[in-house]
């Protein structure tokens, strides 16, 4: 459970963010790692979100921004990696991690529980706005994974649209028409509702709204602030 008092609220919300390092081989199946759980199965988990990856290289940035380390509590990830981030992976890329074959599906759209976990109300807004979101994997071939194994590219998606770019266009520069066109070249690999949202924006004649965390978050307030 997470306590809303950590950001000045009241009450608690269920959460499975308290991940802990596990030693030795751990089985990775279609729905994730053996023993892993999701408290909110409507918005988390399932085959397309079997594994959440978060790059270790992002943690020094958050330390510099907020003055304390997120390392212990983490940001809900199943895998903390090095040399593998949102700018270098693309929805549809396939990798082998240990014995398991995985496919990149989408960047994470962060929710307010990140803020409750760290005691920073608008943390999810800043995670999203900086592009330091992490990303999800689907499991195409189950197998054992353990700390220290290599991540090997098996097949790269042909479209070349990074997870970072998907987050930027979907959540930040929401009316970047050329960006929408580029991201839609990856439509076959993206969640259906995201594609529908982008198609709707492509058809829109509205001007781009003002930039900044508050304005960018407006349509996503329930997700970002709870």
Block means of pLDDT (10 residues each) for the chain, 226 residues, are 64 70 93 79 78 97 95 91 97 98 96 89 94 98 96 98 97 93 97 94 68 52 67
Cα–Cα separations (whole angstroms), residue 168 to 118, 128, 145, 178, 187? 24, 8, 31, 12, 15
Q: Could you tell me which of 11, 8, 10, 44 has the C-alpha nearest to residue 19?
A: 44
pTM, two decimals, is 0.88
CA distance 198 to 173: 11
pLDDT for res 212: 47
């Amino acid at each position: 459970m997470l306590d809303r008092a950590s950001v000045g609220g009241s009450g608690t919300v269920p959460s499975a963010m308290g991940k802990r390092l596990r030693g030795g081989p751990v089985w990775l199946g279609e729905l994730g790692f053996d023993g892993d759980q999701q408290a909110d199965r409507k918005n988390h988990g399932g085959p397309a979100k079997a594994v959440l990856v978060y790059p270790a290289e992002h943690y020094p940035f958050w330390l510099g921004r907020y003055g304390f380390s997120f390392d212990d509590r983490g940001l809900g990830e199943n895998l903390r990696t090095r040399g593998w981030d949102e700018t270098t992976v693309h929805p549809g890329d396939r990798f082998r991690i240990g014995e398991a074959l995985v496919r990149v599906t989408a960047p994470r759209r962060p929710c307010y529980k990140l803020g409750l976990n760290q005691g920073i109300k608008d943390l999810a807004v800043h995670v999203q706005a900086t592009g330091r979101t992490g990303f999800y994997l689907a499991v195409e071939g189950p197998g054992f994974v353990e700390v220290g194994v290599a991540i090997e590219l098996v097949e790269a998606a042909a479209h070349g649209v990074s997870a970072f770019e998907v987050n930027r266009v979907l959540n930040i520069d929401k009316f970047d028409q050329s960006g929408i066109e580029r991201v839609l070249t990856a439509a076959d690999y993206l969640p259906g509702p995201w594609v529908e949202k982008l198609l709707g924006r492509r058809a829109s004649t509205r001007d781009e709204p003002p930039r900044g965390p508050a304005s960018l978050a407006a349509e996503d307030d329930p997700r970002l602030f709870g």
